[in-house]
Amino acid sequence: MRLPLIKHLSNLIEKYDQDYIEETIVVLDNLIEARGIKEEELDVIGEIISNLEGSLEVRKLTKKGMTQKEALNTFMKRVTSIGK
């Protein structure tokens, strides 16, 4: 996950609508099942999906009243603590 990408996507959600992100996740998730897709391509798609999902989580936090900066920091703290 890359915080600058998540921030950029969160701004996109704020400007337009989170439906764009949700529909993109569906498309990419379906693309993973395509025949002949390479391992490197799967890795890239997986990374993109994780950033898209992260932006949705940040958006949820901002809807609860956090600033974008607080939401990004909270989200990254939660992600980096997984598995510890």
Looking at residue 80, what is its pLDDT? 85
Rounded to 10 deg, the angle between the 68-80 and 3-15 helix axes is 140
Looking at residue 83, what is its pLDDT? 66
C-beta of residue 10 within 8 angstroms of C-beta of residue 55: yes
pLDDT per residue over 35-82, tens digit each?
A: 999 999 999 999 999 999 999 999 999 999 999 999 999 999 988 887
Alpha-carbon dihedral angle through residues 21, 18, 60, 55, given to the nearest 10 degrees: 30
Looking at residue 74, what is its pLDDT? 94
Which alpha helices (H) appear in the chain, and where do they start and end? Answer: 3-15, 18-31, 39-63, 68-80
Structure tokens at 55: 């932006």
User: What pTM value is reported for the model?
Assistant: 0.89
- Rounded Cα distance between 44 and 26, Å, is 15
Looking at residue 37, what is its pLDDT? 95
Looking at residue 84, what is its pLDDT? 67
